[in-house]
Amino acid sequence: MNPVEYPSLWNVPANPVFRRHAVSALRPLRLVVWILITQVMAGFFWVGTVLLYLQTRSPVGQMIDFGSPEFRRMLADHGENASLLGWLSVLVIQGLLVVVKGTFSVATGVAREANEGMIEAERLSPLPTGHKVAGQLLGLPLLEVLLGVLLLPWAILSAWMGGLSAVMMGKVYLIFATSAVFHHAVGLMAGTLIRQKILAGTLSQILILLLHFVLPTFGGIGIGLISHLGAEAAMLHEVVKEMPHLVETGGLLTQEPARAGVDFYQWEVALSGYHWVITLSALAALLLMLFRRWEDPESQWLGKAGTSLLAVWIMVLTCGELLPPFWRGEGLASAAAIFDIRWGNGYLFAGHSKTGAAIWIAGFGLALGVSNLLLTGALVPSPVARHRITQQGGGRWWSDGRSAVPWVIGISLLAAAAWAWVVSALLGRTEGLQGMGLEMSDGVGFAGAIMVPALALHALALRKGWKLALAGVFACWMVPPMVAGIGLLAGADAAGWPMWVAGLSGPMLPAYAALGMVAEGSFGVCAPVLLASLLAHGWVGIVLLARNSTKPHGSAANPGRRIRL
């Protein structure tokens, strides 16, 4: 029997998974109804935006006469701005369709297929894995993508009417398309993780809100890596860079995006290009996760090598964006944007650079600690993978079923090294902070604060499974800071019991290690709290790892069950 030949991966219309989703999504009546709705809405917003802008430029109370010479002169003077705003209104509609609704469709679609058994049937088919991933990623949001493409005539009308640059619009739509595929991959991941359709769709919408409205705020405190995953700033940068004469100070657009750029080590990188690199990196990681899960549902998301490479790349990008202003000695010169907190008409730490810097260092350490927990948590081998390694008599040192403790230690030390590099640059080049310095004990304390909780969580998940581990994370790591916060609001002394209770939380330990560098006032108790918490977490991790080595979780008869939410 001759082997079955499948079409090329790039021949998407011939992909059987894509074709199945296309037949389901593009039902004629449904398609016609959605086309009518979207075209009417786009026409209303485009015409309304253009006329509203022209009304603001016409004499007050004068009705626009479309056939008059005054209207032609108005178009000659203000037609470019009006067309630009009309196109941006259509771009917003395309974003709502392709990104918001499309991501929801992907998440709910894959969750529905999992409940109906289609995923398991496709996993057993001989179709190559790449075809399965591409078919779902491009087929599930096909209706929304087609509706967005059908709105392009309004963009062409804007370009013709206002003389907008085709190159600029092409760059904007390239960024838009890359961001849309990334969001659809996020929805595909949400639907793969969560089998409840509505819950998966809701989670995808929450992730969109985080990417576009919450994470960009981190760019204002100096942690700009995750703030670049939102595409709005990059697209606006391309518009303003191409057409600076259309910018109106104090209006919808400002000149700030035109000057925006990213200092990456010794290079100046355009904001749009930097955003594109980060989005493609995140998309590649998500696609690799999906590919591995299609190959083996019990595999780790990225594997040990892939997770380590991702950790290295994250640290390279993070340090590359943070270090240049510190090298130039501009650390506290931009305190309003990076180190300080706006309070009324001034800044909370104005005149207290040491305290403000310590707060920022603690926040940076806290962000590194949380990201380290997420990365190392993905390295916990499943009981099925460990059972396979036992039955096969070993396996390669990077296999999913092998011990991940050395990898957890290595990734944690990498994060600690990045923290030490950034903090050393800050303290060494910032006026008024050189006396603080970064001693060896500070680096060792932070390395322990970021590594010991990761090992404890890894050991707990390895021994008890992720359900009990997540319950323990909530009870022991999330509740204590809440209790401490309530105590502070009730008037308790910050250096008293709230500091000790919050120290029970593992993710808080990097902040304690950083604040311990100041050792003044309430911060003076950070060192003993850190030591006590490290001893407690270390003891839990050692005991669990020792018990796990003598009695592995699962057996040949019952190697473990998959956890499905």
Q: What angle do CA 14, 195, 561 make, to 5 degrees?
A: 110
Co-location of 498 and 359 in the same domain: yes
Residue 525 lies in a domain: yes
Q: What is the pLDDT of residues 34-57, one digit of tens each?
A: 999 999 999 999 999 888 887 777
Structure confidence at residue 235 (pLDDT): 85
Structure confidence at residue 349 (pLDDT): 43
Cα separation of 238 and 241, whole Å?
A: 5
- Domain's final residue, options 195, 216, 237: 216
> Residue 279: pLDDT above 80?
yes
Q: Where is average pLDDT lowest: 307-311, 351-355, 362-366, 403-407?
A: 351-355
Q: Where is average pLDDT lowest: 214-223, 396-405, 484-493, 502-511?
A: 214-223
pLDDT category at 557 given cuts 50, 70, 90 is very low
Over residues 268-282, the mean pLDDT reads 86
pLDDT category at 142 given cuts 50, 70, 90 is very high
Structure confidence at residue 153 (pLDDT): 94
Co-location of 160 and 58 in the same domain: yes
Residue 163 lies in a domain: yes
Structure confidence at residue 59 (pLDDT): 63
Residue 226 lies in a domain: no
Q: What is the pLDDT of residues 67-124, one digit of tens each?
A: 567 667 777 777 788 888 899 999 999 999 999 999 999 998 888 888 877 887 887 7
Residue 4 lies in a domain: no
> What share of the chain has pLDDT > 90, as a percent?
22
* Separation of CA 221 from chain center: 16
- Domain's final residue, options 216, 249, 268: 216
Over residues 171-197, the mean pLDDT reads 89
> Residue 62: pLDDT above 60?
no
Co-location of 204 and 332 in the same domain: no
Buried-state track 69-103, b at ≥16 Cβ within 10 A, e below 16 = eeeeebbeebbbbbbbbbbbbbbebbbebbbbbbb
Buried-state track 22-61, b at ≥16 Cβ within 10 A, e below 16 = beebeeeeeeeebeeebeebbeebbeebbeebbeeebeee
Host domain of residue 163: 9-216
Structure confidence at residue 348 (pLDDT): 40
Q: Do 426 and 331 meet the contact criterion of CB atoms below 8 Å apart?
A: yes
> Residue 220: pLDDT above 90?
no
In the 8-state DSSP scheme, what is residue 439? -
Q: Count the alpha carbons within 13 Å of 133 in the hemisphere toward its beta carbon.
A: 20
Co-location of 389 and 538 in the same domain: yes
Structure confidence at residue 560 (pLDDT): 43
> Residue 323: pLDDT above 60?
yes
> Residue 381: pLDDT above 60?
yes
- Domain's final residue, options 164, 187, 216: 216
